[in-house]
Structure 1
Amino acid sequence: MRFLAFLLFIAFVLFAIFARWFFICDILNLCEEAPVEVEVAPRLQTLQLTENDSVLLSGYDQFAFSKGIDQPELNTNNEQFLDTLAQMLTADTTKSLEITGRFTPQEKDIMAGFYENMGLARAAAIRDLMASRGIDENRISLKHAITSDSLLQEPLLFAFALNDLPSEYATASYRFTNMTYSDANFPSNSAIFDPGEAFRNYADSVKVYMEAHPEKSIRIVGHTDNIDSEKYNLKLGMRRAESAKEYLENLGITSAIETESKGETEHVASNDTPEGRQENRRVNFIIE
């Protein structure tokens, strides 16, 4: 009997404990769950700002981006780096900034907004942060590169260039009023415009913008690599610009649209590699 009474007492105590927990936690919702600690890999302190062969800034934390995300996860050190960049650009107006955004092979088919790849989108996000610090976005050029580092430990590159220094390369523009799209929007050896998701997003926004600004016009410029003759490439660039114009008109854009071709004359990269030639095969949409 004593043993049975003891068991009943233990059962009562356990029931009382459970009942109190249920009342406080589930009914009153006053219990706080212990935070789950997530292990975060430390950022490499290898971020640099270069100018030609010189390193102007070094030892800063690398920026961090989640997989498939174009917005950075900023820490205090990143903010300090951007503040210093802005101060340097403000102090010397002869300089411009080149930002290269990287993306992994796993992110190759992921697009963000108007941009054809995650690298460009990430570089554009940093450009916006510089613009918020008073830097004219026209002084900032964007580039992109794919990296074999699946962890994306070094997602951005920063470099200064002199505005008045002549260059053998033109600069591709990635702004709403002056946007560049690659030959990925054209089948191989074709001038038929078959746009991907990034351009379709852009075109829809352009339509809305042009309806609100009927005084504006659009100029479409076709570019090629240097494969084949200069005469052929001039015609190919024009055919691609005309095909892109037809797409915009079929979308319902009624604004004036002009087309032209630069052929192979304004390359933005070397024509010695397949990657460079692909960058040179592009169409530029300029809202004027």
Structure 2
Amino acid sequence: MRFLAFLLFAAFVLFAIFARWFFICDILNLCEEPPVEVVAPPRLQNLQLTENDSVLLSGYDQFAFATGVDQPDLNANNEQFLDTIAQMMAADSTKSLEITGRYTLQEKDVMAGFYENMGLARAATIRDLMTARGVAEDRISLKHATTADSLLQEPLLFAFMQKDLPSEYATASYSFTNMTYSDANFPSNSAIFEPGEAFRNYADSVKVYMELHPEKSIRIVGHTDNVDTEKYNLKLGMRRAESAKEYLENLGITAVIKTESKGETEHVASNDTPEGRQENRRVNFIIE
């Protein structure tokens, strides 16, 4: 009898504990889950600054970006790396800096502000850090690339270029007054402008800017790859520029908007690959 009474008492205690937990946690929602500590992987120490085939700086910590975020988690070593580049550029005015921002395949549809992809947004953030160190913005060019590394352990590439050295490639611009958007805003082989979120954000900002600066005008330049004839591509580039102009006018922008086409003549990448051809199919918006 005593053993049975003990079992009944133990069962009552367990039931009371469960009932109390159920009332407080499940009904009143007063129980907090313990925070899960996310341990970031250690940074690789293989960041480099290159120039042609030469490595000018090496052994620095890689920058770190959280998924879907364009602002880096800077450490002292990152700051030292940027300081050193700024000092090198101050000592040699012929050098320009090319920053390539990478983004993972999982971040493909993630945008930041009016940049078309997270890679460009990350590169632009680093450009801002360089201009804060006294480097002129026109000495910095931006590029973007995807990476299959889901951990994004090497998010940035840095390379010196000779500022005035002739190149077979033009340079795409990614600043507010000289912005480039890819063919992602157009269906394949079409001039119908279907802007994505990044461009809509940009256009809204341009509208406000032009209202504050009525003396300014906008020039829209259409570019294509080298598929089809040069004559056809020249017309396609113009049709795309005109379609983009129509979108801005429908948005309510009353400033003078001029259009032109460079066709296939100013490619920013090789036309030998699908990725390069996509980079070359673009529209450039220039506030003058």
Alignment TM-score, normalising by the size of structure 1: 0.87
Distance 2:35 2:287 in 1: 50
Partner of residue 226, structure 2: 226
One-letter identity of the residue aligned with 2:99? I
Structure 1 counterpart SS, 2:258: strand
Structure 1 counterpart SS, 2:142: strand
Q: Say what the alpha-carbon RMSD is for the aligned residues.
A: 1.2
Note the C-alpha offset of 1:37.
5.8
Distance 1:42 1:96 in 2: 31
Distance 2:154 2:100 in 1: 11
- Cα deviations by residue, 1:48-68 (Å, 9 ceiling, x for unpaired): 000000000000000000000
Partner of residue 254, structure 1: 254
Note the C-alpha offset of 1:130.
0.2
Distance 1:40 1:242 in 2: 47
Distance 1:35 1:207 in 2: 44
Distance 1:236 1:35 in 2: 55
Distance 1:244 1:100 in 2: 27
One-letter identity of the residue aligned with 2:181? Y
Note the C-alpha offset of 1:38.
4.6
* Unaligned runs of at least 5 residues, structure 2: 1-33
1:207 partnered with 2:207: yes
Distance 1:82 1:74 in 2: 11
Distance 2:110 2:40 in 1: 24
One-letter identity of the residue aligned with 1:175? S
One-letter identity of the residue aligned with 1:87? Q
Distance 1:182 1:266 in 2: 14
- Cα deviations by residue, 1:212-239 (Å, 9 ceiling, x for unpaired): 0000000000000000000000000000
1:273 partnered with 2:268: no
Structure 1 counterpart SS, 2:84: helix
Note the C-alpha offset of 1:35.
9.6
Note the C-alpha offset of 1:40.
2.8
* Unaligned runs of at least 5 residues, structure 1: 1-33
One-letter identity of the residue aligned with 1:204? D
Partner of residue 55, structure 2: 55
Note the C-alpha offset of 1:189.
1.2
Partner of residue 133, structure 1: 133
- Cα deviations by residue, 1:78-104 (Å, 9 ceiling, x for unpaired): 000000010001100000000000000
Structure 2 counterpart SS, 1:180: strand
Distance 2:164 2:184 in 1: 32
Map 1:17-28; keep pairs closer than 5 Å. Answer: none
Structure 2 counterpart SS, 1:171: coil
Partner of residue 9, structure 1: none
Distance 2:79 2:168 in 1: 34
Partner of residue 235, structure 2: 235
The list of structure 1 runs, each at least 4 consecutive aligned residues, that deviate by more than 2 angstroms after superposition, is: 34-40
Size of the aligned set, in residue pairs, is 255
One-letter identity of the residue aligned with 2:163? N
One-letter identity of the residue aligned with 2:40? V
Distance 2:136 2:78 in 1: 20
- Cα deviations by residue, 1:110-132 (Å, 9 ceiling, x for unpaired): 00001000000000000000000
One-letter identity of the residue aligned with 1:51? E
Structure 2 counterpart SS, 1:160: strand
Distance 2:165 2:137 in 1: 19
Partner of residue 150, structure 2: 150
Partner of residue 165, structure 1: 165
Distance 2:63 2:81 in 1: 10
One-letter identity of the residue aligned with 1:163? K
Structure 2 counterpart SS, 1:277: helix
Note the C-alpha offset of 1:164.
1.8
Partner of residue 87, structure 1: 87
Map 1:67-86; keep pairs closer than 5 Å. Answer: 67-86=67-86
Distance 2:157 2:279 in 1: 18
Map 1:179-218; keep pairs closer than 5 Å. Answer: 179-218=179-218
One-letter identity of the residue aligned with 1:240? R
Among all aligned residue pairs of Structure 1 and Structure 2, give the percentage whose two residues are the same amino acid: 86
Alignment TM-score, normalising by the size of structure 2: 0.87
Distance 2:39 2:142 in 1: 32
- Cα deviations by residue, 1:1-46 (Å, 9 ceiling, x for unpaired): xxxxxxxxxxxxxxxxxxxxxxxxxxxxxxxxx9986533210001
Distance 1:37 1:72 in 2: 20
One-letter identity of the residue aligned with 1:275? E
